[in-house]
Amino acid sequence: MMDPLDRRLLDEFQRDLPLVSRPYLAMGEQLGISEDEVILRLERLRLAGSVARVGAVVRPHAAGASTLAAMAVPPVRLDEVAALVSAYPQVNHNYQREHRLNLWFVVAAGSQSEVAAVLDGIARQSGLAVLDLPMLEDFHIDLGFGLSWT
């Protein structure tokens, strides 16, 4: 359960993480807590499943390369293949869809050749085809949302 300070931490820094050498210290100063407490709170929220990651979101292809990919995975193998996909550090998330193409994921890497190598590795290890769906046009969607109701 989040307390009011957790909500403030997530609300106030969801979009504007300080771009300084010690961002957690700057966050703590704004919240009236220590740098260590900021780090402990974020780790507790991560372990509880309230926060997936803390880090920058970079405009697609501004640094490196990325793609959306999809696979048609037999339902009995879905957990196994999802774990295989998630084991690649270049995969930042994957999710199940109710469709013939039932496993979707994003690969982000330093170059297009590294993205291709990850997709090839997943296909080779799983024995299943991987559909590469590169972005043709980008759209900005703000995925942030407030947690405090006042």
CA-nearest of 62, 66, 56 to 111 is 66
Residue 58 lies in a domain: no
Residue 57 lies in a domain: no
Is 78 found in the same domain as 27?
A: no
Residue 62 is predicted with a pLDDT of: 65
Residue 78 is predicted with a pLDDT of: 97
At residue 43 the predicted structure's pLDDT band, cuts being 50, 70 and 90, is very high
- Residue 53 scores a pLDDT above 90: no
Does the predicted model carry a pTM greater than 0.85? Answer: no
Tell how strand 131-133 and strand 65-71 pair up.
Answer: antiparallel
Residue 145 is predicted with a pLDDT of: 64
Place of tokens 């590795």: 121
**For residue 11, what is the domain's CATH number?**
1.10.10
Residue 147 lies in a domain: no
CA-nearest of 102, 90, 37, 41 to 65 is 90
| Residues above pLDDT 70, as percent of the chain | 86
The model's pLDDT over 64-84, given as tens digits with 9 standing for 90+, comes to 889 999 999 999 999 999 999
The model's pLDDT over 89-129, given as tens digits with 9 standing for 90+, comes to 999 888 999 999 999 999 999 999 999 999 999 999 999 99
- Residue 137 scores a pLDDT above 80: no
Supply 48's token pair: 């509880």
Supply 93's token pair: 């998330």
**For residue 75, what is the domain's CATH number?**
3.30.70.3460
How many Å apart are CA 22 and CA 142, to the nearest integer? 25
Q: What Å distances lie between residue 109 and 4, 91, 112, CA to CA?
A: 37, 9, 7
Is 71 found in the same domain as 42?
A: no
The residue ranking higher by pLDDT, 142 or 24, is 24
Q: Domain tally for the chain?
A: 2
Residue 55 is predicted with a pLDDT of: 73
- Residue 29 scores a pLDDT above 60: yes
- Residue 23 scores a pLDDT above 90: yes
How many Å apart are CA 132 and CA 127, to the nearest integer? 16
Domain with 17 in it: 4-47
Residue 146 lies in a domain: no
